[in-house]
């Protein structure tokens, strides 16, 4: 980067800016193992808050947490043809253990459909055992060739939900329900608007009957697949003999779903909200919601201001109306560092609010409250500080979502676009393009080859254009569907 202070501007090199923000704000660092990352406390604090909220949402929909082994018999992957074809190139294989060659190699978990459904088959005998609704918080390993912190690493953290049902319709309802849970979380907590819809056969999960996804636009106008939900049909049930006795006394195969999100969402947060000064964290996910920066010149003033800061931090514990918990406040009491340097550091880390507090402020019974998203400053009375902080945090959460939504729509194309204009757009600024598709996989593959753009999803009804496209973007034949096209991470 140019110097020790300034980040590379997003407009100059978005990729470099992203890497610098992740490293400089101490979200993560490169590990000694190529392609893997170390998640530092600042980044893990965000992931913990994501995990905590999602876990509550999963449990509210009837799911229970369990844990399954990291090591999976290689033969399990081969039981479902599409699955092994999809994951074999990414699999890490253990061939030796205890100083000896293993009788059967073990796969380090890239995903857990196989081992979980093998256990489901042991646990399910009757329709009374269904639905079986399980979630797992775990790590997985996929041997990636090109890696980027949070976005694509060899090992990453995630949750994977796995369920079994008596009918296709129940499984379909579950897959759609959990997609909705993801959308609610991404928009309500990450303040990251998403388009939901169905993946094409070329883009669906290996072994799935149907895949749905949440697609978000990053500030470089590329798409990020932020979460997926799969109706697995009976493919894995047949592979692992997952059967149940129906109410009528017949023996039937169960219907499965799986769904997951990962630490990739932390990268999505960075790329959705960050600016040229660093990270901007939505208040609901910020490990620290407000930092108090004392301003003083003498030891006497320092004691005075720190005493007031401590009283404020303790008194604001009752003001977080959203969680019945203390506001997450940090007092930056470090000595030998000027206030301006502290401001810079906390802005880089994306802390939503900063309260500047000096002797003159105390004399006026006020402090200066600074928003990280807009950098707007305003004096606030210490008598009403709790209400002001709570209101400002709520406003920031709403405003960050609105700003991201406005940016997405400003960079989306819904009117008719020629293929030449589409190629020019993808070669340039990019964006989301809603256009017709004839349903032919050959057209989909040709566009990917020529432009690197893919069908991110076939959007759900609420996201479709008011006037449905009538012709295919590539071949001009009659459109069978509207597709969302974009370059993606």
Cα separation, 365 vs 47, whole angstroms: 37
What does the alpha-carbon distance between residue 404 and residue 354 come to, in Å, rounded to a whole number?
22
Helix (H) or strand (E) holding 101: strand 100-108
Tell me whether strands 132-141 and 64-65 are parallel, antiparallel or unpaired: parallel
For residue 325, what pLDDT is reported? 54
The Cα–Cα gap between 122 and 117 comes to: 9
Q: Which two tokens stand for residue 482?
A: 């509207």
Please list, in sequence order, all residues whose beta carbon lies within 8 angstroms of the beta carbon of residue 195, skipping any fewer than 6 positions away: 214, 215, 216, 432, 456, 457, 459, 460, 463, 484
Query: How far apart (Å, rounded) are the C-alpha atoms in residues 317 and 22?
Result: 30
- Report yes or no: 331 and 304 within 8 Å, Cβ to Cβ: no
Average pLDDT over residues 93-97: 97
Please give the pLDDT value at position 322.
Answer: 46
Q: Which residue has the tokens 């999963």?
A: 58
Which H, E and C letters describe 132-147, residue by residue? Answer: EEEEEEEEEECCCCCC
pLDDT the model gives residue 4 = 61
pLDDT attached to residue 145: 83
| CA-angle at 421, arms to 420 and 425, nearest 5° | 120
Q: Are 431 and 466 in contact (CB under 8 A)?
A: no
Predicted confidence band at 398 (pLDDT cuts at 50, 70, 90)? very high
Maximum distance among all Cα pairs of the chain, rounded to whole angstroms: 84
Q: What is the pLDDT of residue 83?
A: 81
Domains of the chain: residue spans and CATH: 14-273 (3.30.930.10), 288-394 (3.40.50.800), 412-486 (3.30.110.30)
What was the pLDDT predicted at 1? 38
Q: What local confidence, expressed as pLDDT, does residue 156 receive?
A: 97
Q: Give the helix/strand (H/E) hosting 356.
A: strand 353-357
The b/e string for 218-243 (b: 16+ C-beta within 10 A; e otherwise) is bbbbbbbbbbbbbbbbbbbbebbebb
Position 324 pLDDT exceeds 90:
no
CB–CB of 229/212 below 8 Å?
yes
Q: What tokens were used for 361?
A: 């402020």
Question: Distance between CA atoms of 206 and 165, rounded to whole angstroms?
Answer: 20
Decide if pLDDT at 319 tops 60: no
In this prediction, residue 317 has a pLDDT band, given cuts at 50, 70 and 90, of low
Are 251 and 242 in contact by the 8 Å Cβ rule? The answer is no
Task: Decide: 404 and 273 in contact? Cβ < 8 Å.
Answer: yes
């Amino acid at each position: 980067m140019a110097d020790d202070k300034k980040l590379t501007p997003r407009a100059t090199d978005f990729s470099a800016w992203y890497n610098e923000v992740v490293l400089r704000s101490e979200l993560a660092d490169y590990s000694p193992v190529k392609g893997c990352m170390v998640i530092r406390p600042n980044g893990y604090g965000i992931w913990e808050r994501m995990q905590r909220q999602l876990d509550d949402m999963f449990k509210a929909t009837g799911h229970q947490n369990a844990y399954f082994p990291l090591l999976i018999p290689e033969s399990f992957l081969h039981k479902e043809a599409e699955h092994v074809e999809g994951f074999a190139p990414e699999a890490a294989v253990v061939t030796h253990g205890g100083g000896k060659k293993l009788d059967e190699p073990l796969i380090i978990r890239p995903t857990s459909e196989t081992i979980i459904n093998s256990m489901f088959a042991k646990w399910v005998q009757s329709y009374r055992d269904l639905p079986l609704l399980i979630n797992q918080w775990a790590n997985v390993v996929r041997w990636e060739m090109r890696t980027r912190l949070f976005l694509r690493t060899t090992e990453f953290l995630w949750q994977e939900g796995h369920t079994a049902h008596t009918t296709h319709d129940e499984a379909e309802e579950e897959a759609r329900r959990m997609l909705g849970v993801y959308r609610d979380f991404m928009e309500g907590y990450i303040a990251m608007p998403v388009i939901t819809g169905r993946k094409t056969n070329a883009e669906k999960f290996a072994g799935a009957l149907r895949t749905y996804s949440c697609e978000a636009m990053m500030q470089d106008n590329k798409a990020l697949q932020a979460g997926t939900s799969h109706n697995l049909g009976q493919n894995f049930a047949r592979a692992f003999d997952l059967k149940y006795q129906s109410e009528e006394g017949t023996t039937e195969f169960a219907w499965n779903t799986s769904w997951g999100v990962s630490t990739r969402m932390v990268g999505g947060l960075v790329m959705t909200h960050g600016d040229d000064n660093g990270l901007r964290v939505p208040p609901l996910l910020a490990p620290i919601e407000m930092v108090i920066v004392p301003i003083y010149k003498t030891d006497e003033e320092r004691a005075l201001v720190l005493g007031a800061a401590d009283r404020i931090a303790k008194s604001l514990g009752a003001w977080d109306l959203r969680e019945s918990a203390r506001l997450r406040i940090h007092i930056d009491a470090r000595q030998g560092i000027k206030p301006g340097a502290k401001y810079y550091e906390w802005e880089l880390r994306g802390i939503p609010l900063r309260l500047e507090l000096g002797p003159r402020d105390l004399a006026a019974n006020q402090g200066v409250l600074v928003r990280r998203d807009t950098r707007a400053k305003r004096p606030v009375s210490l008598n009403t500080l709790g209400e002001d902080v709570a209101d400002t945090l709520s406003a920031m959460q709403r405003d960050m979502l609105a700003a991201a939504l406005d940016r997405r729509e400003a960079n989306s194309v819904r009117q008719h676009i020629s293929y030449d204009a589409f190629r020019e757009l993808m070669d340039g600024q990019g964006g989301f393009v809603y256009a017709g598709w004839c349903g032919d996989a050959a057209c989909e593959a040709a566009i990917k080859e020529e432009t690197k753009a893919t069908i991110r999803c076939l959007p759900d009804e609420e996201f479709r254009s008011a006037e449905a496209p009538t012709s295919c973007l590539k071949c001009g034949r009659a459109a069978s569907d509207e597709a969302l096209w974009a370059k993606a991470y």
